[in-house]
Amino acid sequence: MKISKLVVSPEALLYPLTEEISKNLPFTVGDETLIRSLLREGKFKPEEILHLNVSKAPFLKACPCTPGHVSCHYHNLNIASGCTLGCRYCILQEYLQTPWLTLSVNWEGIDKELKEGSARVPFLRVGTGELTDSFIWEPLFPLASKLIEKAKVARGAFLLELKTKTADFSTLPKAASNPWTVVAVSLNPSRVKEEEPGSATPKAKIAALKVAIAKGYTVAVHLDPLLLIPSWEEDYARLIETLFLEVPASAISWISLGSLRFPPALRPLIRQRHRDSKLLEAELIQGRDNKYRYPFRERVRLYKTIREKVLSLLKDPPLLYLCMESEEVWQEVFQEAPEKEELNERLFRSASDSLERLHPL
Amino acid sequence: MIFKEVSPDRFTLLPEERLTYPTLSEQLMNSFQRYGIRQPVKALGDSSNPHIIAGYRRVEGARRLNLAVPTLFLPISLTPRQRWEAMLEENLAQREVTLFEKFNFLKKISLWGAALKERWLRELHLPDEFSRTLELSLPPGILERMERGDIDVKSLMSVESLSPGEMETLSSWMGSLTRSEVRELFDLVSRYKERKVGELASLVASPSAQERLEELRKLVYPTTESLNERRERIASALPHFRWENQRHFEDGRLWFRSSFRSFQELSQRAEELRDFSSHRKGNWDEDL
């Protein structure tokens, strides 16, 4: 992350986080209007601008999943938004009204929100990856360490998941005791590198997972979005083989599977911004939620193939689940469609068991 | 404001001076013939050299029927830019302006700079990206369908990546297609290009517009279309069963429903299913 312009909202000036970040970066006091005028002048790219603000909305929110689909009851802690990785399928291109990087500095209420959230939701799983990548902020300030500290202090009241497409875990603190944190990477074969230009290579991500395990964390893998490229069967099979060759399956808390999906407004953006992209070359239909997806049978074939590959390699595989999929697809792939609370508990327990093995009391 | 009756020959109807091409319906011409031009046109200048702000259609009708044109002369002078804006505003106040007219207007107004174009894109509730379509050279066939309201903003934007040659091909394909078919054609062509299935020109040999549409559907949505074909096969084998319209077959199954008013009808339905099942040699689980 290279910030060329730091803009601080007037109400964000007197916060410790603002002081910490602006120590090495000159800043301008201003708001969205100023940033929009800077962008219009063409002096900066959106991803070079960081806006420090005060969020008036709660940080902790239930993941909206997609209507009528099987939810995993995940919760998002949206303290930051925007990303520098430039994945071509990323819905943030269309979803965010503010295309620059934004960090909310008013963290004083986060502990209370997490405490209330964990009282309300048993087995609360929290991540920061809905509107940003959890690890792109590290060169600027130790976001991961700060959140891990909160999870550690809460001692299992919630489970933190830090999800990334990067591969540098050098700033990840060594966990002397149970960090109640899962470090997760999103993996795709290197053949689709051009669709996610800022993402680290799968090899580097797998190496990074080993670093995280060595530092005392349990890890997770998101095979998401799975892309139906012509050689997908071979490419994903090789990716899974490499993963299990390098990373012990017992250290992986879960593997999520999700296939390419995006709202209709993203389609013209992909076409215009990324003319050489192959994302739109597969057959795509608009589903019940109006999002573009691969047809039902193609998705089922994709998930079944990957599941079978995992099962063929491991006697005791990590917990597999589907992200944003319908009950019908769940039934076809796993012969079940769990309730969100049940799925959430399974995922939580899988990670906590793994962490407790690493950090016995 | 001065009111005068002006001979229609006094008006010049240069294409580059008008917002729209006057298409006159038979109904409107009959009305002109029966009652004359009742609504005055608005113009600048004087009766020797009037410049129309609103009323090209009426002037064209009057010219064909050799009727005097009631004209209101506005006592103001307008720059060419202001004239375009006044023309559009007059039309917007009276009726729904077509996409073709908005497109024409924006092309003209763009000559006065990007800021003005952007302002009008917002005023006309068009997305900023629409400005790229202004660069397209659209064949007359497409312009005509735009004027008729058969092509909407989304459709036009979906084919912005087509080359002029492909645009001509697309235009020639619209033939007898209905409005909804034209919109589907645009979507299919756009997906066809995105999917890089092949060259558009290779489909020209197909005999009719409808058959070509069918061919495109199969190329762009092969899975969905194969399900569609199976649905039709089953529907013809089971005439008393109604297909439940599942959008894009999202659960991967075909759902049919039937109702009955008596046990006799129920047993007939069961018989139909048995026949169908035995005909398919027990392989119908896959479809139903």
The domain containing residue A128 runs over which residues? 67-76+108-358
The count of CB pairs under 8 A between chains A and B is: 54
Residue A207 confidence (pLDDT): 97
Distances (CA, A) of B190 to A272, B16, B29, B194: 12, 31, 39, 6
Q: How confident is the model at residue A254 (pLDDT cuts 50, 70, 90)?
A: very high
Residue B282 confidence (pLDDT): 46
- Residue A194 pLDDT exceeds 70: yes
pLDDT (average), residues A97-108 = 93
What are the structure tokens assigned to A251, written together? 């250290």
Whether A282 and chain B come into contact, CB under 8 Å, resolves to yes
B221, B248, B253 ranked by CB distance to A287: nearest: B248
This complex has an ipTM of 0.76
Residue B202 confidence (pLDDT): 77
Asked whether the beta carbons of residue B247 and residue A286 sit closer than 8 angstroms, the reply is yes
pLDDT (average), residues A263-285 = 91
Residue B288 confidence (pLDDT): 46
A-chain residues near B196 (CB < 8 A): 281
**For A270, which residue in chain B has the nearest alpha carbon?**
B194
Residue A85 confidence (pLDDT): 95
B-chain residues near A271 (CB < 8 A): 161, 194
In this structure, how many other beta carbons lie within 10 angstroms of the beta carbon of residue B236? 8
Closest of B5, B14, B15, B75 to residue B41, by C-alpha: B5
For chain B, the maximum distance between any two Cα atoms, rounded to a whole number of angstroms, is 85
Residue A265, domain member (yes or no): yes
- Assign residue A129 the CATH number of its domain: 3.80.30.30
pTM: 0.82
- Residue A30 pLDDT exceeds 70: yes
Residue A88, domain member (yes or no): no
Residue A281, domain member (yes or no): yes
Cα separation, B102 vs B117, in Å, equals 11
pLDDT in tens, A203-239: 999 999 999 999 999 999 999 999 999 999 999 999 9
What are the structure tokens assigned to A200, written together? 């680290």
**Is-cis flag, bond preceding B239, omega within 30?**
no
Asked whether the beta carbons of residue B220 and residue A283 sit closer than 8 angstroms, the reply is yes
What are the structure tokens assigned to A233, written together? 């069967």
Residue B50 confidence (pLDDT): 87
A 311-330 residues inside an 8 A Cβ radius of B: 326, 328
> Following DSSP, what letter does each residue of A195-256 receive, concatenated?
GSTTSPPHHHHHHHHHHHHHTT-EEEEEEEEE---TTHHHHHHHHHHHHHHHS-GGGEEEEE
Count structural domains, chain A.
1
Residue A75 confidence (pLDDT): 97
pLDDT (average), residues A97-116 = 94
pLDDT in tens, A154-171: 999 999 999 999 999 999
- Residue A132 pLDDT exceeds 50: yes
> Following DSSP, what letter does each residue of A85-152 receive, concatenated?
S--TT-THHHH-SS-SEEEE--GGGHHHHHHHHHHHSTTEEEES-SSS-TTTTTTTS-HHHHHHHHHH
Residue B79 confidence (pLDDT): 85
Residue A39 confidence (pLDDT): 92
Q: What angle do CA B143, B147, B151 make, to 5 degrees?
A: 75
Cα separation, B60 vs B68, in Å, equals 11
Residue A226, domain member (yes or no): yes
Whether A202 and chain B come into contact, CB under 8 Å, resolves to no
Residue B175 confidence (pLDDT): 83
Residue A94, domain member (yes or no): no
Residue A45, domain member (yes or no): no
Please list the residues that pair with A77 across neighbouring strands.
A60
Cα separation, A299 vs A287, in Å, equals 12
B-chain residues near A282 (CB < 8 A): 195
Closest of A196, A254, A188, A190 to residue A226, by C-alpha: A188
In the predicted model, what is the mean pLDDT of chain A? 94
A-chain residues near B194 (CB < 8 A): 271, 280-281
In the predicted model, residues of chain B with pLDDT beneath 50 are: 281-282, 284, 287-288
Residue pair B78/B44 in contact (Cβ under 8 Å)? The answer is yes
Residue pair A305/A311 in contact (Cβ under 8 Å)? The answer is no
B158, B220, B223 ranked by CB distance to A297: nearest: B223
Residue B247 confidence (pLDDT): 64
pLDDT (average), residues A309-316 = 96
Residue A12, domain member (yes or no): no
Residue A66, classed as helix, strand or coil, is: coil
Residue A162, classed as helix, strand or coil, is: strand
Residue B53 confidence (pLDDT): 85
Residue A202, domain member (yes or no): yes
Q: What phi, psi does A186 have (nearest 5°)?
A: -100, 125
Residue B100, classed as helix, strand or coil, is: helix
Cα separation, A213 vs A183, in Å, equals 9
Distances (CA, A) of A122 to A129, A219, A341: 21, 21, 8
Q: A45 vs B237, which has greater pLDDT?
A: A45
Residue B264 confidence (pLDDT): 93
Residue B206 confidence (pLDDT): 63
A-chain residues near B191 (CB < 8 A): 280, 284
Whether A300 and chain B come into contact, CB under 8 Å, resolves to yes
